[in-house]
Amino acid sequence: MRNIYIAFMAITLTLSSCAQNPDSLNSRIDATLNLASQQYEYMKTRLPEGRYPKTYYADRDKFETSNSDWWCSGFYPGTLLYLNEVLNKPVLKQEIDRVLMGLKKEQFNKSTHDLGFMMYCSFGNANRLNPKSEYKEILMNSAKSLATRYNDTVKSIRSWDSASWNKAGEDDLVVIIDNMMNLELLFWAARNSKDSTYYDIAINHADKTIENQFRKDYSSYHEVIYDEKTGDVKAQITNQGASDESAWARGQAWGLYGFVVTYRETKDLKYLEQANAIAEFILNHPNMPKDMVPYWDFDANNIPDALRDSSAAAIIASALLELKTYVNQDLENKYENASETILSTLLTDEYLAEENTNGGFLLKRGVGNMPNKTEIDTPLSYGDYYLVEAMIRYKNL
């Protein structure tokens, strides 16, 4: 028991020291960015042509990949772009060009709401770093495809098409909290084209999300089903959370990040207030662990033995590092301290892979979809993306 206590105190002191010492955390970030590059160079050797990484199952040494039309396809090139931005390595640049070529056909994909993830995390970053007319055309076409899923009666973008597995019928329109993350593509399109249609769709969707996706305590429903002919709410449920009334951790993260972006793009204070309220729910929740890596659901029935979700933690850290730039000094300090604690935790052996392991992914211990028993306690491509983004944001701030 004494040895366990000593080990626990050592971990606690390490996290506390990193969170209070920016130089120490910066050094750890530098080392982790180099580790990430090594991991992704290794992953590249395992990735079949035309495929994109999803996850890795260590017990079977199974590296799971997808086609370009899977919602996670943009995270691999996006992570490579972030890494090349800070490390400038020819091997990364070559891989970026290769996988972007295979992804660009998805600009015309009208069957998914996830074009923001797929195309803005990839081509949006590519255009930010090296503006090209080709990238802009791809992004505009992607925004046009996403806009076709908007329903002006509901004032929202359709997430999933109606199907029995998501409990929706033929006249139903499903919106999931994740969809807030795809609005950034529409805001970009509005600026680039000077066409306010894209802006209007984005803010209508954000407003409808505030109205029907959030409870009074600013926890969110994962899924809202509307009658697409009347706009009425038919159900507020979950597909990935512990229960319909629970607070699924990554859903909270998506909502936080999405409203930070919406405030950035509109400067409308109601979106800043929404982001702050979601942040307060997350950071003050009695089930948030001291190391700030949340359980996969804040209301999971087996806390404290429930699995943590490193991907949710990475998204929260990245969102807080932007949100802190828009708030007063007290909140700025609170959000900065929380993001430092999250990063200090994630950049330990508990969550970081060793070189040439974990299928090439950087982060361990993500939870994809617990109720449907997929990607449980595994690496996730979006966990890596938002961790790398958060580390770069921390260094830049």
Structure confidence by residue, pLDDT tens digits, 176-208: 999 999 999 999 999 999 999 999 999 999 999
- Name which of 65, 13, 91 is nearest 291 in CA terms: 13
What are the tens digits of pLDDT across the range 163-181? 555 566 667 999 999 999 9
Contact 366, 311 (CB under 8 A): yes
Q: Is pLDDT above 70 for 67? A: yes
- Cα 327 to Cα 363: distance, rounded to the nearest angstrom: 30
Q: Which two tokens stand for residue 239?
A: 């597909």
Asked whether residue 381 is domain-assigned, the answer is yes
Does 19 reside within a domain? yes
What local confidence, expressed as pLDDT, does residue 62 receive? 97
- Domain presence at residue 222: no
Q: What is the pTM of this model?
A: 0.94
The CATH code of the domain that includes 341 is 1.50.10.10
Q: Tokens representing 123?
A: 């081509």
Half-sphere CA count of 107, side-chain side, radius 13 A = 16
Which residues contribute to the annotated binding site for substrate? 114, 178, 238, 250, 254
Give the residue numbers spanning the domain of 397: 1-46+253-397
Residue 264 has pLDDT above 90, yes or no: yes
Domain count for the chain, please give it. Answer: 1
Instruction: Specify if 137 maps to a domain.
Output: no
- Note whether residue 317 is domain-resident: yes
Asked about 297 being catalytic, the answer comes back as no
178 tagged catalytic: yes
Task: Tell me the HSE value of 280 on the side-chain side, using a 13 A CA sphere.
Answer: 12
Res 228 pLDDT > 80: yes
Model confidence pLDDT, tens digit, residues 243-262: 999 999 999 999 999 999 99
Instruction: Specify if 153 maps to a domain.
Output: no
- The per-residue pLDDT for 7 is 44
Has residue 236 got a pLDDT over 70? yes
Q: Does 282 fall in a domain? A: yes
Is residue 379 in a domain?
A: yes
What are the two backbone dihedrals, phi and then psi, of residue 221, each rounded to the nearest 5 degrees? -75, 140
State the catalytic residue, choosing from 172, 178, 297, 384. 178
d(CA 81, CA 191): 23
Average pLDDT, stretch 97-102? 98
150: Cα within 13 Å, side-chain hemisphere: 22
Q: Is the pLDDT of residue 12 over 60?
A: no
For 26-58, the pLDDT digits (tens) are: 999 999 999 999 999 999 999 999 999 999 999
Q: Which residues define the annotated binding site?
A: 114, 178, 238, 250, 254
